Structures are given as structure tokens and as C-alpha cells.
Amino acid sequence: MTDLTLSNQALATKPAPPKQATAFRLPTQWIGVAPFFIFALMFLILPTIYLVVGAFQRGDGSFTLDNILQLVSDPSISSSYWVSIKISFWSAIIGAFAGLAIAIAIVRGGLPGWTRSATLTFSGVASNFAGLPLAFAFLATLGRVGIVTTLLRDVLNINIYAMGFNFLTTSGLIAVYLFFQIPLMVVIIVPAIDGLKKEWGEAAATLGATQSQYWRMVVIPVIWPSFLGTVILLFANAFGAIATAYAFAGPALNIVPIKLYSQINGDVLHNPQLGYAIAFGMIIITGLANVFYIWFRTRSERWLK
Amino acid sequence: MKSGKFWAWVVFIVGAAYFFIPLMATVEFSLRMRRGVHSFDAYQIVLGDARFQSTFLYSVVAAIFTIILGVLIVVPAAYWIRLRLPQLRPIVEFITLLPLVIPAIVIVFGYIRMYGSNSPLPFLGSNMGANALLVIGYATLALPYMYRAVDTGLRTIDVRTLTEAAQILGAGWGTIIGRVILPNVLIAVLSGAFLTFAIVIGEFTMASLLNRPAFGPYLQNIGANRAYEPAALAIIAFAITWGCMSLIQILSRFAPKSANRPN
């Protein structure tokens, strides 16, 4: 099928020189995608570049590396990065493995059909149920007067707060973040597991492979790229999340997004340029994660060919 | 195989418990406002609150404008890339994934600094401008989901034949996109729209930093100051999210299943 549309055919039958026809075509080629690119440039790319450039400038616009260096030298900022990375990393890893386990259980575990559809529906909802309402739900459950807290205290005589439990610790936040990380993993990884063809298992069995060999040599290499990609998505998801943590402790909690939030609201670090540097650091970390993802994926795709 | 099934049940039940205990507890907590008995007092107070009504309405309107803006940007671009400019596909896909990489707080920080009241394009100089900027910000957040939904929808119809048929009948580009392509991908667009709605309705970071009277900042305020109402709000928010997701599922049953041309 040729690429000529009717209007161009009409033009082509006229004795007009072809140059004129291409001159006519060019704007219509781009006009459909123009709104998209203008929008992306104005409201996604330029604002990001603006922050990145600002990270390397003093207040008067001259070049400096001081802001970037301060990310490392200021202990309150570097520790907030460290806490954020830890929370995002572990919630992504634990969420990914738990989500994978649930996905394998419902797709391959021989459970009745309703478990699959119920899990997928619920995961779709729960992966979008984040932010403030999620924090409220956990406060009602495990807060100081939460239902589970009081049940444990009154019935089993276990006071989890006396045992050192707290939402504002790294592990407390990880547990809460898993509530949207696990379902997100399930939603994304189930199609990948569905993609494992029955014939592969049969072929492996015919060739004498054991169950563990089948998993090690067939299943894991095939779902590895989607698994890794989702881990990185989960990492970025947790790294930028702010509302849930903010609902627990307001501006007091020392993670990067909340630090940036306070800085934007009131210049708490007393250096407007430092806000740019914090934002730049966040982009670098999520960007690096994606570079790793692409690198891993090209490596594993070589094996998939 | 027997033990495999056993472990599958264990995983499923542990997972279900992890997700259902907090939800059950939240429901229970939200009913405890009146001492000693279960009551819907917390819900009544929340739903009767004038600020709940105004902020919720504000966020619903913002969501609707976000969806319209998203459709206007994404549908023509996705259509054109399928029809004429397939070489742009990798670039466009990369751009639509950027909002998943750049955190929302960074995007809105860029807006605040770039479109402040002293800038050449002072969105934040006026109330309406700030509202517009919030909708724009939401549209960037929704971009990955909207683009993927529309692109999947376009894959199931024969874009080129439909376009040529419409052109033979004398349709212009506006008619082709508005009256031929859009109705054909309407279900995909609506799925994207409900997902956008679910994301936008309780969004906190952008609304708060742009200082808009939206539902997210209201939730934050209630969460910081009240005991039982937040639990009721969490259940309401969960119900809204559930509603959006069910609508997407119901819609997907009406979506055309077969791809005429698998390109």
C-alpha cells in the first residue's frame, strides 16, 4: 500500500512540479503531532531543564558546583537521600518479589478461577490507592488507637508501640508503601507470566528438564526483563511519593521529597538554589535507575533471541 | 504438584490478609465515632462539610478538564504517528514515559519557577492561570496512561483504511479525527479517562504547592486535625478508585477484540 492520500493523488495528477507537492505536505505531516510536542516541551522538558540549569548556578546566575556539593556535605540532605533510597529500594524489591509470588500463585498455582480475577481487580484498585487515604487507612489500623493495635493490646497483651513499632521508621514506611507496590507489580507482571507458553514447559519436559531446570533456564530468563523493569518503576514510584509520608508526620519526616516540599514552600534551607540541586539529584537517581534498566534489558534480550 | 498448590494457597491467603485487614480495620474505625455503638456519624459529618463539597467539586472539574486536555494532545499525536510518522514512535514513547521518571514534585517545582508571576508566561499571576497550570500538571501525570490507552485502542482499528474512506467521502482532518477515529477509540479513551480521574481526584503534591483549593489538600488538613473522619474519607476514596477501575473493566468488554491489521 502506498503512502499517498487522496489529496496528494489529486495533486500528483496535476502537472505541478513535485517540489510544490512536498512543500504542501510538510506542514500537514507535523501539524498532528505539534500539540503533543509543544506541550511536552513547555510543561515537561523545559521546566526540568530549568531546574537542572539552576542547580549549577548561584543566585546571580554565575556557574557553580556548590549547590551540588552541598547535597553531599550537608548531613541533613545527604541523610534524607539515603533514607529515601533505602525505602524506595527495599519497598521495590520486597514488593516485586511478593507481587511475583502472588502473580505466579494465581496464574500457575492451580487455584480456582475466581482468585485470579478477584486479585487482578483488587490490584488495579489498590495500585491506584495511594497518597493520603492510604495513610489514613494504616493509621486507623496500626495507629496508636488503631483497630489492630488495640486488638493486639487488649486480646493478646502485645503493645506494638512499646516494642518500638512506628510508621516513621524506615521499615514502617516500607510496610505502608508495599500496599501500593505489591499490587502494581501484580498488575504489570501477570501479563508477562501469561506470555509463558505451555509448549515451552512441555518442550522442556520432553527434553528431560526437571521443574527447577525449567524455571531456571526458561521461566526466569523470559520474565527477567519485565521483572527488572517493574522493579525500577516501583523504585521511582516510591522515590517520588510524598503524600502518604506527609500524612504521617507532616514536614518532620526526613525523606527527599518532603525536604524538597518544605524547601519549595518556605525556603527552609535558606538557599533558593539548593532546591534546584535537590530536584536535580532526584532526577539523577530515577534517571540512573532507568539507565540500569535499559542496560539490563539489552543484555537479557540478547539471551532471548 | 500437590505442594505447589498448597504454597499457592498460602501466598494467596497471606496476600489477601495483608490487604484486607487494613481495609476492614479502616471500615470498623470509621464507624466508631459515637462511643459504644457503630454509626455513620463520621460519614455524615464529612459529607455534610461544605469544604468537602467545594474541594471535591473543584477536583472533579479539574479532572474533567485534565481528561479533555489529555485527549486533545494525545489522540491526534497517536493517530498521526500510526498513520504518517511511525519513525517518531520511539521519541514519543520516551516522552510519555518521562512523567514516570521525573517525580511530580519536581515537575511542579519547575512550573513554579518557570511560570511565576514575574516570568514571561505568568500562569501563577492569576487564579485562572494557576488553575490552568494545575490541569496542565495533571495532564502530564496522566500522559503515560492516556497515551498507552489510546495507542492500544488505535492498534485494534484499521487507521489507514478508515482515513482513506473518510477522505474519499470528502472529510477534512477535523472530521476524520473527531467523527471517525475518536468514536472508534472511544472506549480506549474512556479507560484512560477513568484512570486519569482516579489519579487526579485525591492528588496532593501539585495542588498543595500551587495552592489550589483541591480535594487532596483538604484530605491532608482533615487527616492532621481529626480522628474518625480520615478513616471515613479513606473508605470514600477507596470506593471512588474502585468505581473508576470497575468502569474501566466494564468498558473493556465493549472494546473491539480483534486487530484488523496488527501493526
Q: What is the CATH number of the domain that holds A272?
A: 1.10.3720.10
How far apart CA B102 and CA A120 sit, in angstroms, is 27
pTM tops 0.95, yes or no: no
The answer to whether residue A211 is domain-embedded is yes
Report which of B10, B202, B228, B177 is spatially closest to residue B104, judged by C-alpha positions: B202
Quote the pLDDT of residue A11. 47
- Tell me the per-residue pLDDT of B185-233, one tens digit each, with 9 for 90 and over: 888 888 888 888 888 888 888 999 998 999 889 988 888 888 888 888 8
How many C-beta atoms lie closer than 10 Å to residue A231's C-beta?
24
Contact predicate A95/A175, CB 8 Å = no
Helix (H) or strand (E) holding B148: helix B127-155
- Evaluate whether residue A232 is within a structural domain: yes
Q: Where are the domains of chain B?
A: 50-254
Could you tell me the pLDDT band of residue B3, with boundaries at 50, 70 and 90? low
**B residues 26-85 near A, CB within 8 Å?**
26, 28-30, 72-74, 76-77, 79-81, 84-85
Contact A141 B15 (CB under 8 A): no
Residues of A in contact with B164 (CB under 8 A): 5-6
- Measure the CA–CA gap between B69 and A36, rounded to whole angstroms: 11
Domain extent, residue A148, equals 76-304
Q: Give the largest Cα separation in chain B, rounded.
A: 73
Integer Cα distance of B163 and A196 in angstroms: 37
Mean pLDDT of B101-106: 89
The predicted complex's ipTM stands at 0.85
As a whole number of angstroms, the distance between CA B111 and CA A49 comes to 11
Nearest CA to B55 among B207, B241, B257?
B207
Cα A55 to the center of its chain, rounded Å: 24
Measure B168 CA to nearest chain A CA, in Å: 7
- Region label for B103, one of left (φ > 0), alpha (ψ between -120 and 50) or beta (otherwise): beta
Residue A295: inside a domain, yes or no?
yes
Average pLDDT score over residue span B85-96? 87
Q: Candidates 1.10.3720.10, 1.10.730.10, 3.40.50.300, 1.10.645.10; correct CATH number of B50-254?
A: 1.10.3720.10
Q: Stretch B128-156: mean pLDDT, rounded?
A: 90
| Residues of chain B found within 8 Å of residue A134, distances taken between Cβ atoms | 234
CA A37 – CA A32 distance, rounded (Å): 10
Partners of A179 on chain B (C-beta within 8 Å) are 18-19, 22
- 8 A C-beta contact, residue B70 and residue B192: yes
Pairwise CB contact (< 8 Å): A33 & B72: no
The nearest CA of chain B is from the CA of A17 a distance in Å of 22
Residues with Cβ within 8 Å of A267's Cβ and at least 6 positions away in sequence, in order, are A275
Look at chain A and report how many structural domains it folds into: 1
- Give, as one character, the DSSP assignment of residue A238: H
- Distance, C-alpha A190 to centroid of its chain: 17
The single-letter code of the amino acid at B46 is V
In a domain, A180, yes or no: yes
Question: A158 to each of A45, A94, A153, A174, B61, how far by Cα in Å?
Answer: 52, 26, 5, 22, 47
- For residues A263 and A54, give the distance between their C-alpha atoms in angstroms, rounded to a whole number: 15
Query: How far is CA B222 from each of CA A18, B51, B132, rounded to the nearest angstrom?
Result: 67, 10, 26
Q: Of A287, A79, A103, A253, which is closest to residue A176 (Cα–Cα)?
A: A253
- Contact predicate A176/A138, CB 8 Å: yes
Residuewise pLDDT in 10s, chain A (305 residues): 444 444 454 444 555 455 544 445 556 667 778 889 999 999 999 999 999 998 888 877 788 888 888 888 888 888 889 999 999 999 999 999 999 999 888 888 777 878 888 888 888 888 877 788 888 888 888 887 788 888 888 888 777 777 777 777 888 889 888 988 998 898 888 888 887 777 888 888 888 888 888 888 888 888 887 788 888 888 988 888 888 888 887 777 888 998 888 888 877 677 778 888 999 999 999 888 888 877 777 776 665 54
Nearest CB among A7, A50, A250 relative to B114 is that of A50
Q: Helix crossing, A272-304 with A256-266: angle to 10°?
A: 150
Within 8 A of B199 by CB-CB distance, chain A residues are 128
Write the DSSP symbol of residue A63. Answer: B
Whether B9 has its CB under 8 Å from any CB of chain A: the answer is yes
Which letter does DSSP use for residue B229 in this model? H
- Residue entry with cell 457503630: B38
Burial of A284 (0-12, 13-18, 19+ CB in 10 A): middle
pLDDT digits (tens, 9 = 90+) for A269-305: 777 788 889 999 999 998 888 888 777 777 766 655 4
CB B34: neighbour CB atoms within 10 A?
Answer: 12
